[in-house]
Amino acid sequence: MKIIPPLGKFSSKEWYMLISSIFSIFLLMQYHFLFEFLILMKRELPYVLIIYHLIGIPIGTVFALKLIYKGLNPFAGYLISNASIVLFFICLIIIDQPWFVPIGLFGAGFSIGIVLGLLYKHFYPIFKETRFAARYFSTAFTFIGFLIMIEAMIDINKNPLLGIIFFVLMYISIFIFAMLGKRAIINLPIQESLNISSYIKERKDIHKIGFAFFAGFLWVNIYYAAILFLEKNGLDTKLSIYVIFFCISMMISSFPGGLIADMIGRRISVLIGLIFQAITFLILSFFSQNEFILLYIAPLLLGAGLSLSLTTSYLIYGELSEYQYLRDNGSLFLAFMMSGSVIGVIIAEIMRPLFLTEPTYLTVVLLFVFILATIVIILMKETLPTRAVLKWEKPTEKISEEDLELYKEQKICLVCKSHVEGFTFTFICPKCDVLYCEKCARSLANLENECWVCKHPIDESRHVKHPDKRKEKLEITETTDKKI
């Protein structure tokens, strides 16, 4: 199996689109891990006010699902929403008034909520590449960690002008790469709208909602608790050092985490990430007064844990989604995730007097949460095909009619050549009547999603519609003829 994912899987336009999206994700990640805490620190406001941005994201998501996604051009919406995020960041740096901080935090979160669904759809090319998907995502997270580390070194509280220039450059990067990849963005699968209430009521979606909720709860709660311990020990002024070590760990562990997810399993990667986070909590509980451990050891462990669990969480949710619902599924995933984050901050604030004076309380509560999260993860469907399946090679030559008739008569799976008689579930291609066993059918659906004989979709729900290029060309020709 190749260790380094091949670059030739995507067109140059798709690469431009993906790079633009990575810069956009950076805006979200740095906002939570660094920017908002620096803003609150400078204004001498309580850190609990980060809840404004966490509330803003699901509200922005629902607003986008109900109004914006149905009427606004998705390409324009993507650029405008990112511009809005950067504008709020700049205003938070410039406007030195405590009353504006909640408005700015909420506004930036609201704008992020709008752009998240569009971002999820942009990663469609990666979701198709099941064999290398986690490594593509982890490589992106490595780059994001590097950008956050640069921002931490700038220290926007000491160098606000440099901070503004940095954010402007990030938006220029988003804009330029989006323009270069515009054709790839326009040609993404046509998205259909989900009914939010029906989605929530569906029994099959309950485990996905729980997965998103716990991902958000642990993502924010652990990091927020660490910041509170830094504040208690008077070390929050050294937040930049903490974030730099956090990012170093994130950069080092992301790709190995992606390799684990691609070779062993998505759920295993998330569970390993949870173990690292649990160890971080134990360290915070028993060594909460040790400056060296708080500033250097804890962020290294936490960075590894979050990079492994977050990277794969995004991927699992995308692979479980039908391609025509990627945008809405991505939006709802982040909405439920941020709802869990809000609950995480509220619980941390309620328990703050207890766990800051007696850290063992933190261990007991979060041990219970970790157990629940582990159960939810185990219940999630593994989206990585087995090793045997990944070694399959599609026949390069057309299968003869005689062989096809033999497979049908003997009830033999076309892929693994095993018999599918008895109680074994059989998938029969509705177009050519070729047989596949259940394991092969499910794995093919996650890979190329097409019958080896007639190319008919294995999973109809993943059969995507692309914009009609022939119709586009016809319209261009007609317009040219009229001008002539």
Q: Which tokens belong to 410? A: 């003997």
Beta bridge partners, 428, equal: 435
C-alpha 217/C-alpha 129 separation (Å) is 29
pLDDT given at position 132? 84
Query: What are the strands, taking DSSP E only, across 224-382?
Result: none
C-alpha 284/C-alpha 439 separation (Å) is 44
Rounded to two decimals, the pTM is: 0.81
C-alpha 90/C-alpha 63 separation (Å) is 24
Q: Which tokens belong to 185? A: 């963005």
Closest alpha carbon to 276 in 306, 238, 321, 313: 306
24 with 174: CB under 8 angstroms? yes
Angle, nearest 10°, between helix axes 206-232 and 298-319?
160
What does pLDDT average to in each consecutive run of 10 residues of the chain (484 residues)?
76 91 92 93 92 91 78 81 95 93 95 84 80 86 94 92 96 95 79 76 78 83 85 87 94 91 87 87 80 90 88 81 78 86 86 75 73 81 64 56 70 71 65 76 70 76 52 42 44
Torsion of CA 403, 404, 409, 411, to 10 degrees: 100
Q: Which tokens belong to 93? A: 């740096």
Q: Indicate left, alpha or beta for 2 from its phi (over 0: left) and psi (-120 to 50: alpha).
A: beta
Closest alpha carbon to 151 in 248, 236, 82, 243: 243
pLDDT given at position 480? 42
C-alpha 449/C-alpha 436 separation (Å) is 13
C-alpha 115/C-alpha 123 separation (Å) is 13
419 with 411: CB under 8 angstroms? yes
pLDDT given at position 129? 76
pLDDT given at position 286? 79
**Measured in Å, how far apart are the chain's first and last C-alpha atoms?**
56
Task: Tell me which amino acid residue 196 is.
Answer: I
pLDDT given at position 326? 78
Give 320's DSSP letter. Answer: T
pLDDT given at position 376? 81
- What domains are defined for the chain? 9-189+197-379 (1.20.1250.20), 390-462 (3.30.40.10)
